[in-house]
């Protein structure tokens, strides 16, 4: 296996770890009604649940992007 292939494989393994970081057994998904209720309650204090979801999604995707960027860097 080439160095590049090893880097890419390691990146895939790290991304897989990210994907498995919050297992359903530990963090039970909320029913839709509770998510809607949370959105209502957050709205009372001026926080949009969609903005929170976007922030969390960006955090996850930025972490994955960083793993990919590091794996694709050419060794100098």
Model confidence, pTM: 0.74
pLDDT (tens digit, 9 = 90+) per residue, 11-36? Answer: 999 999 988 988 889 999 999 999 99
Residues 6+ apart with CB under 8 A from 49: 35, 38, 39, 42, 43
Overall average pLDDT of the 1-19 stretch? 92
């Amino acid at each position: 296996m080439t160095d590049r292939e090893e880097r890419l494989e390691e990146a895939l393994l790290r991304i897989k770890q990210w994907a498995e970081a919050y297992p359903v057994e530990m963090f039970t998904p909320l029913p839709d009604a509770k998510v809607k209720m949370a959105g209502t309650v957050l709205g009372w204090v001026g926080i949009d649940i969609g903005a929170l979801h976007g922030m969390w999604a960006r955090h996850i995707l930025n972490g994955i992007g960083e793993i990919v960027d590091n794996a694709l860097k050419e060794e100098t």
